[in-house]
Structure 1
Amino acid sequence: MRIFLVKRVFTLILTLLVATLVVFVVLEILPGDPAAVMLGVNAEAETLNALREEMGLNRPVWVRYTHWVASLLTGNLGISYTYDVPVSELILSRITVSFPLAILAMTLSTLIAIPLGIIAASNHNKPMDFLVMSFSQIGIAIPNFWFAMLLTIVFSVTFRLLPAGGFAGWDAGIIPVLKSFLLPTIALALPQAAILSRVTRSALLEVLKEDFIRTARAKGVTNQGTLWKHALRNALIPVVTIMGLQFSFLLAGTIIIENVFYLPGIGRLIFQAISQRDLIVVKNLVILLAGAVIMINFVVDLLYAVIDPRLRGGSDA
């Protein structure tokens, strides 16, 4: 287990360093002047030079890179040129919306998908299996932004049960906050649940064909017993992999949903920063979101070792 952890921590650190290097190269070294991008083509030369000096663009590349990485480690992400506030404050204020939304959507998706996948696998080639797969196919085919607008029309415009958008704020209380989150959570969760249910079903069907399942049945274990005690745990690795990828998407890829519902989250912030050419915010948001994805994958790797004891040894075979 110790060797497994050392390998994973080393891979984590190396991946984070490569991510910072890629983001830095794309936004600051490739052809083009970041200061000119931020101020526009009609900016005066003196203004451009002042901004270049303020951003440190006149310093050597390696100095700028090491200074930026050191700033990331200390939490000093610079000042937003659009909002004139520290970038760290902007991110902290927006993550209090995006992170709970991602947690709620992931929880709802899991609560829907895992039982449906188990039901489909235990009723393979039966009407229930067909119904579950039909649901999942529809969920995958429907774009989430269209589904979000449909939910708004039905529950906000027609029946006036829930707010069409906006965020009530944590000071308003838990009920108004949950009302603000309910439609975005459903819009995010159902398409992800459709994918996860198919993966759960496929993983279970593969495991149910293994020799140890036939051995368990030969010893008199019931079909439900083999499913819950033997097959489910062995089928969890691909399921956990997809869940990790989905949570990364829900945390970093909710730009469209947050704009549909006017939620002041990370996705909406990065959209606004790109449209306003606030590269300081864009650069730090991109690396923080990339870091979040890398950390989630690291946690998923650790969960592999919990689920499958074979991965705790000196070899990953």
Structure 2
Amino acid sequence: VDLVELSTRPTSNMTALRTAGIVYVASLGVLVAYNVRWKYLWSALVGRQPETLPVTKVDGQEGSNSNPVPVILLHGMWHDASYYGRLQQLLSLNGYTSYAVSLLPGKRLLPGGSQKELLTDLEHTLKQEVCGRYILLGHSQGGLLTQSALQNSKEIRENAVAAVLLGTYPLGLTPPVGKLLKEPRNMYTDLGYAYICGFGKLVNVRYAKHMFLMPTTDEKEPAMGKYIEGLLKAPSDGLITMSHFPATPKPVQTPALVLGASDDIIYPPHLLKDEFDARFPNATHVVAEGQAHCFVDPGWEKTMAEPLLEWLDKHANLSRRVLLNRHPSRRRR
């Protein structure tokens, strides 16, 4: 009997491993099929032409504080160009023309290929829409695209006089999950995170608030409710992408503002400072108090927008700095 048992155990183990392997491959196949959206398969095989992405332009108000260097705004997952609506108005009041680029969420081929596709389209769009040099500003996934552009596009790197990394993550860094789990609040120990991993969408208002807003922010307030409703309806572009983790970025000398949120549970700024410094030796770090990941909580104008505008004034171009020196007591409108 013992000999029979010994002879059957390896067979049983092999059967179990084979079954597990089949289940794994099948699950992976379903996930890939879900993401590929088969109508794009031809493009994946033979290549694709770059697209001109939709752009929302708001001109800067002319006057003594007008600035010829526009700001290019790149949004994150589950958002579109409208995310920057209020910031574009502030930029306009302070003399900056801005272009909010819609990255076509939910219409990409694969999460793993989206960085390359987005960069190709962004390069093409900036050629079509913007003359001269500019400042790049990217939030969250848009911040990763900003870093990727500075690393991989010579044209964008030469035209970008400065970069703002807003609530984002160092390109190429493997997530420090152990440290993130030790944070008082995190996004991982919740079924809502599992839903994102499986379907790429936000599961409900509660988890959207948990990820993106301060606990004290009233999600039922009309404007905030409309904002969250839009996030929940957004296409499934939130599927986890590993495309930027294997990257080995080189230091970029472009002046950069790393603007984090004090209560960001996705990218806590205190865990990422050293990594950003290694990638951007000329970085300035600012933490917006009382703000969560999306910088839409009450008081964002003071804690996020004010330091942003001050930094832009210093780094946009030489003529702007000269103007500020001539009018040190100038106040914003």
- Kindly indicate which of the two structures has a greater share of residues assigned to helix: 1
Normalising by structure 1, what TM-score? Answer: 0.25
- Kindly indicate which of the two structures has a greater share of residues assigned to strand: 2
Structure possessing the higher relative contact order (Cα contacts under 8 Å, 6 or more residues apart): 1
